[in-house]
Amino acid sequence: MIMKRPSFLLFACLFCLLLSAAHCKKDHFELPPETTTGANTFGCKVNGKVFVPRDGNGQPGLYCQYVYLGEGEGGGWFLNIPAIDWRSDDGVGIATDSLQVEEGVTYDFKNQKGFPQAFYFKSEKYLKRDTASGKLYITKHDKYNRILSGTFEFVGTNNSGQSVNVTEGRFDIIY
């Protein structure tokens, strides 16, 4: 009996060590593959770290709106792709104001009507400024099946002048 007690204690200590190591495991993400099937995926790297949206707080991490609001003042095509990681409270967004996006076209991000805009947020917003680089490429736009796929990259800057580099961005969504 005396020999079994140290074995049990050793087993219990090893079990607790493994259990605590499992709880300390960091989230590890990979970028989703670049697809054009309407897989409802989104991902990019923010300063080299992989960002993917995650659901939380009863909210989806990814959704898309692409709507036509008619002709005239306040009309046109509006795209809104907010991707949020509700567990770390950061996100990346792509939007357009009065721009009908077309397959095979590369757009410069600009903060004005008729162009796509991009931003990153953590505790504050990092906007893609007109003086910084940034592009959106529409890989696929299937209007019949409402599939929109593309790639993007941009430099976002906050009001204090600090920047983030968003690279290797990709999305494949249904609107």
Amino acid at 102: E
Specify the pLDDT at position 57: 85
Beta bridge partners of 174: 147
Q: Model pTM?
A: 0.82
Q: Amino acid letter at 73?
A: E
Of 7-16, 73-82, 122-131, 142-151, least confident by mean pLDDT is: 7-16
Between CA 102 and CA 64 the distance in angstroms is 16
Give pLDDT tens digits for 55-82: 998 899 999 999 999 888 878 999 999 9
**Residues sharing a CB contact under 8 Å with residue 66, sequence separation 6 or more, in sequence order:** 77, 78, 79, 80, 101, 146, 148, 175
